[in-house]
Amino acid sequence: MLIVVMLAAAHPKSRNLIMDGLRSMSARAMQSAALLAPALVRLASDLAEFQERAQRSWAATGLSTEPRYPARLVAYAVCLAASQPLGADEIERGMRAAGYRSVARDFRSYLVRVIRSDPRFEEVQPGLWRVSR
């Protein structure tokens, strides 16, 4: 196939025929683009307007747009960053410093329950946790 293309490109009449075909196709493509351009501009404008309206609507709900991470993931990150085993109170402080917000009534007992149920944590001494190796 490559040889056929090279022969066609080397032959002057074939080359002119190919170039005329390409010019004709590009002219038709430009005509089609000229017909579609106003519709595409209108669609882009509508999309921008709908996105802006959606953002205003979301802001009116008062809900946060920040991603929320599970407690076990944030606790894991806090313990992983620490160079020594941490108590539940230290893990809680690290999580709150990282921006974690909980709706649990007793966050510390919830945190200990989460840590105990996750196999990535190990209790080195009573009340001191670290990421298992």
Same-domain pairing of 27 and 49: yes
Same-domain pairing of 77 and 122: yes
Domain of residue 16: give its range.
2-61
Res 65 pLDDT > 70: no
Distance CA(102)–CA(96), nearest Å, equals: 9
Determine how many CB atoms are found less than 10 A away from the CB of residue 49.
10
Residue 41, in any domain of the structure? yes
**pLDDT tens column, 37-62:** 888 889 999 999 999 998 888 888 87
From the list 69, 72, 65, 53, the residue with the least C-alpha distance to 101 is: 69
Residue 66, in any domain of the structure? no
| Percent over 70 (pLDDT), the chain | 98
Residue 46, in any domain of the structure? yes
| Percent over 90 (pLDDT), the chain | 48
Same-domain pairing of 52 and 17: yes
Residue 108, in any domain of the structure? yes
Same-domain pairing of 43 and 83: no
**DSSP one-letter code for 118:** -
- How many domains is the chain partitioned into structurally? 2
Q: Which of 61, 86, 110 is the last residue of a domain?
A: 61
More confidently predicted of 13 and 64 = 13
From the list 94, 47, 98, the residue with the least C-alpha distance to 69 is: 98
Contacts 24+ apart (CB under 8 A), 107-113: 110/71, 111/71, 111/75, 112/88
